[in-house]
Structure 1
Amino acid sequence: MFDKTYRQRLEADLAQWEADGVIAPAAAVSIRNALPPLSPGVNIAVVVGIVGGLLIAAAFLAFVAAHWTEIARLLRFGILIAGMVVAGGLGAWFAAKRRTILADLCASIGAVIFGAGIALVGQMYHLGEDFAGGMLLWSIGAFAAALLTESRGALAVALVAACIWTCMRTYDAPDALHLPFVAVWLLAAALALAWNSRVAAHLVAIAALPWWIATSLRFEFDGAQPSFVLANGAALLFGAGLAIAAAPSPRALRLGTVLSIYGAFSLAVVAFLEVTTVDDIIRFRTGSAPAQPLWVILCGAAGVILALASAGITKRAGEILAGCSIGLALLAAPLWPVSTAGEPWFAYAALLCAMLSLVVSGMLDDVRPRIVAGWLGIAGVIAGITWAVKGSLLRRSAFLAAAGVVAVAFATALNRALPRAGR
């Protein structure tokens, strides 16, 4: 909460309140003295130091790589260990000097060297060619570094390695879910919650996407339509984020808010994909198997339930509409097969209503990312409907015109029903 932007806004407000006579000068001084000191940010010297450190590290690695075959195996191993020790030692020294950014960078470099060490040791001693297993080992080591140092960079390295690991395991065994990654992701989410870090929350939210994408693209698994599978993943991420943010804890609020933002944007992207990948523009699914496995449907239902439960806790009307938006986006999946002989008008209407509900939800709750996601979703759905290959373009123009008339009529009714101050 006490970041640089907030402090600048608070300082401007205090000056204005003091000038207007709202608060006494002594009260303003007391408020300023009660605030904790700002953590040192990234200044020019720090940026130049980071670039210099990266250049030195790159030069060292290039020199070692150029003479790698001439160096004895034991010495190679010693170089790798020394690199990790030096990175850890410098990180500890920077941490003692309260240079947290440089300390984090050193921990990250140490995690990267650890991954390079796994690959090079495997190459030197001709170990088994299990690349995915090596990625798992790298992820474990980077997670250990993140736990010991609270390094966001090390956490990023761990999540990248874990995402590569789960994608490779999913490719190797497409007929089974790769659930071990879920445990890894939950561990990362617990770290983000414990650290109360927005950066870590963003990393955790991004890391959830590759698993769902890799899972949705497993064509051998029930012939599932990827966009429908992704819709349920976005629903779960969105609903779970809202539910976590509703918990009475600032840590949960920060983590849940970030997760819900990524869930909202994912839902908007999925709405666009549902139109473009199901309606003959890009067709993935060729079989006659169900478009959604049961576990996927349950994940989507859980997202809707969590969003509505959050609305019941917070008493926010916007979150009720968020739950409706999730439900409408999921409803498009069963509506599509109903219109196999013609055009899926009801599915189009459901997606448009879902994105409109997302925009209104963000406006009611004053959540700008949710508003942006909704508008992007509306634009994507309209573009997909307009340029779809299947069906008559004249009928599509009539449908869009009718939808516009309904939207204008709805806006007119709202304008009359709502008080002037709440419009």
Structure 2
Amino acid sequence: MFDKAYRQRLEADLAQWEADGVIAPAAAGAIRNALPPLSSGINIAVVVAIVGGLLISAAFLAFVAAHWTEIARLLRFAILLAGMIVSGGLGAWFASTGRSILADLCASIGAIIFGAGIALVGQMYHLGDDFAGGMLLWAIGAFAAALLTGSRGALAVALVAASIWTCMRAYDAPDVLHLPFLLLWLIAAAVALAWNSHVAAHLVAIALLPWWIATALRFDLDGMQPAFVLANGAALLFGAGLAIASHASPRAQRLGSVLSIYGAFALGLVASLEVTTIDDIFPFRTGTAPAQPPWAILCGIAGVVLALASAGVTRRAGEILAACAIGLVLVAAPLWPASAAGEPWFAYAALLAAMLCLVVSGVLDDVRPRIVAGWLGIAGVIAGTTWTVKGSLLRRSAFLAAAGVIAVVFASALNRMLPRAGR
């Protein structure tokens, strides 16, 4: 994931292989020459320059804010317009001199000033109170700046504005799915794929989470269970990420691996939420409506199918277990009793088995974030199962003991099935 760390590890391996006589010095030199040059990255001078630029920008904004009421309307607008022009000009100069990080920073500042300009025009001329529409306009402008300059910072500004926009629309119209955000997100994902950038891939993955959270929480008014809706979103993100990563293109593999990592962590978090929010510690459900809308169920099923399709392409056993983890988290929803009669032991067992499958999946595929996500999910499920209000602690201790025995038996079976080199 990090080129510099990879190069350092590769250089150490090459030196060790040369010393052991595994490869000839000429072969090691050929490997070194075949590698592309490392990017300059951020050095001390760049960090100091960034801090200085931020301080100057903060001083300028503080000065303008202190004299805001004394400045004429036209002059206010001219100041913001000049700020965008100056930041764009400085960014172009930095880009021409090869200082891409400072150029990216200037593009980001220009995108932020553009948003301030939208707020200023609305405040000066008393435009409509459609704050969400203003956020959409800001997102479109910042996104255009990102496309023109290739700025990751401008893309981050655009996605933040778009996330605020979709959350406000979901709040204003809780009975309607806010699908326009998904169109904007798909365009951003295509840009991240074209850029072949880890930073852009992480931004795109993070930007999808507010939409799912806002969408899940708005159904609480109808008695829906937010944790179950979120589970379907995590399933789709995880499965789609695995499917994209199974493509032969390195660009698709980079984007898909990042999406699958966020999907794995979301799945682990949702497993904990299902235990702690279903009529237990934090009761959310208040009505008698179905716990999951049909469209969300279809998204969860699509996640399982995509994960299995990825396993079919890559022939990795770990991805089969990942599909099992997704399916078990989804199965826990219908296993949960709608009434308060009895404990949902089968749901608890399904969630524990799902998180165990997630850990084993990460071990088999050598994907450390997936392992961490599984362990965090196991910890959350055990904590929620132990400290829920309903039921007897004696029964819970017996359940956890039985689950532990089953896990030990499963570990013994895996130890016999796996080759000695893969244990």
| TM-score for both structures, normalised by structure 2 | 0.98
Q: Contact between 1:156 and 1:203, CA under 8 Å: does it hold in 2? A: yes
CA spacing shift, 1:32–1:184, aligned 2, 3 Å: same
C-alpha distance in 1, partners of 2:2/2:263? 26
The answer as to whether partners of 2:264 and 2:370 remain within 8 angstroms in 1 is yes
Deviations 1:154-186 (A, max 9, x none): 000000000000000000000000000000110
How far residue 340 of structure 1 moved from its aligned partner, in angstroms, is 4.0
- The corresponding residue for 1:414 is 414
Shift of 1:21: 2.4
Residue 306 (str. 1) matches residue 339 (str. 2): no
Matched, 1:120 2:120: yes
Per the alignment, residue 11 of structure 1 pairs with 11
Q: Deviation of residue 16 (structure 1)?
A: 1.7
Identity of matched residues, %: 84
Instruction: Tell me what 2:158 maps to.
Output: 158
Secondary structure class of the residue paired with 1:280: coil
Structure 2: distance between partners of 1:307 and 1:420: 27
CA RMSD of aligned residues (A): 1.3
Kindly indicate whether residue 189 of structure 2 is the aligned counterpart of residue 189 of structure 1.
Answer: yes
Work out whether residues 222 and 293 of structure 1, in 8 Å CA contact, stay in contact via their aligned partners in 2.
no
Displacement of 1:339: 6.9
What residue in structure 1 maps to residue 36 of structure 2? Answer: 36
Task: Please give the per-residue CA displacement for 1:106-158, whole angstroms capped at 9, x wherever unaligned.
Answer: 00000000001100111111111111000000000000000001100000000
8 Å contact kept, 1:237–1:303: yes
How many equivalent residue pairs? 423
Alpha-carbon distance in 1 for matches of 2:156, 2:187: 13
Give the C-alpha shift of residue 2 in structure 1: 7.9
SS at match of 2:284: coil
Match of 2:229 in 1: 229
Is the contact between residue 230 and residue 270 of structure 2 (CA under 8 Å) also seen in structure 1? yes
The SS at the match of 1:341 is coil
Q: Which residue is equivalent to 2:287?
A: 287
In structure 2, C-alpha distance between the alignment counterparts of 1:407 and 1:417, rounded to whole Å:
15
CA–CA distance in 2 between the matches of 1:238 and 1:220?
A: 24
**Cα deviation digits, residues 310-348 of structure 1 (max 9, x gap):** 000000000000000000000000000267410000000
1:73 aligns with 2:77: no
Report if aligned partners of 1:175, 1:220 keep a CA contact under 8 Å in 2: no
Alpha-carbon distance in structure 2 between the residues aligned to 1:177 and 1:34: 50
Say yes or no: does 1:256 pair with 2:256.
Answer: yes
1:93 is matched with: 93
Mean CA deviation greater in 312-321 or 118-127 = 118-127
**Farther off after superposition, 354-363 or 334-343:** 334-343
Alpha-carbon spacing, 1:34–1:413, altered in 2? closer, same or farther (3 Å):
closer
Name whichever of 267-276 and 125-134 sits farther off.
Answer: 125-134
Partner Cα separation in structure 2 for residue 2 and residue 146 of structure 1: 23
> SS at 2:336's partner residue?
helix
> In 1, are the aligned partners of 2:279 and 2:285 still within 8 Å (CA)?
no
Amino acid at match of 2:163: C
Please tell me whether the aligned partners of residues 358 and 370 of structure 1 are also in contact (alpha carbons under 8 angstroms): yes
* 1:230 to partner: Cα distance: 0.3
After the TM superposition, which of the residue ranges 136-145 and 406-415 deviates more from structure 2? Answer: 406-415
CA drift at 1:71: 1.4
1:307 offset after TM fit, Å? 0.3
For 2:99 and 2:249, how far apart are their aligned partners in 1?
29
The range that moved more, 337-346 or 381-390, is 337-346
Shift of 1:211: 0.4
Residue aligning to 1:268 = 268
Instruction: Tell me which amino acid in the other structure corresponds to 1:4.
Output: K
- Determine the structure 2 residue equivalent to 1:277: 277
Unaligned runs of 5+ in 1: none
Contact 2:220 2:285 in 1 (8 A): no
- Cα distance in 1 for residues equivalent to 2:246 and 2:348: 31
Show the 5 A alignment for 1:5-404.
5-219=5-219, 222-337=222-337, 340-404=340-404
Determine if contact 2:220/2:226 at 8 Å carries over to the other structure: no
Is contact 1:2-1:38 (8 Å) kept?
Answer: no
Look up the SS of the partner of 1:217 in the other structure: helix
Deviations 1:70-112 (A, max 9, x none): 1111111111111001000010111111111101000000000
User: Residues of 1 paired with 2:417 and 2:291: CA distance?
Assistant: 41
SS in 2 for 1:364: helix
Deviations 1:169-210, CA, capped at 9 Å, x for gaps = 000000000000000110110111000000000001101100
The amino acid that maps onto 1:287 is G
Q: Contact between 1:338 and 1:344, CA under 8 Å: does it hold in 2?
A: no
Q: Distance in 1 between matches of 2:398 and 2:25?
A: 64
What is the CA-CA distance between 1:244 and the residue it aligns to? 0.3
Write the letter of the residue equivalent to 2:95: A
1:307 touches 1:320 (CA, 8 Å); kept in 2? yes
* Contact 2:220/2:284 (<8 A) preserved: no
Distance in 2 (CA, whole Å) between partners of 1:238 and 1:2 is 22
Summarize deviations over 1:22-66 as a string: whole Å, max 9, x none. 333233223222222111111111101000000001101111111
SS in structure 2 opposite 1:218? Answer: helix
Counterpart contact for 1:196–1:254, Cα < 8 Å: yes
DSSP 3-state at the match of 2:283: coil
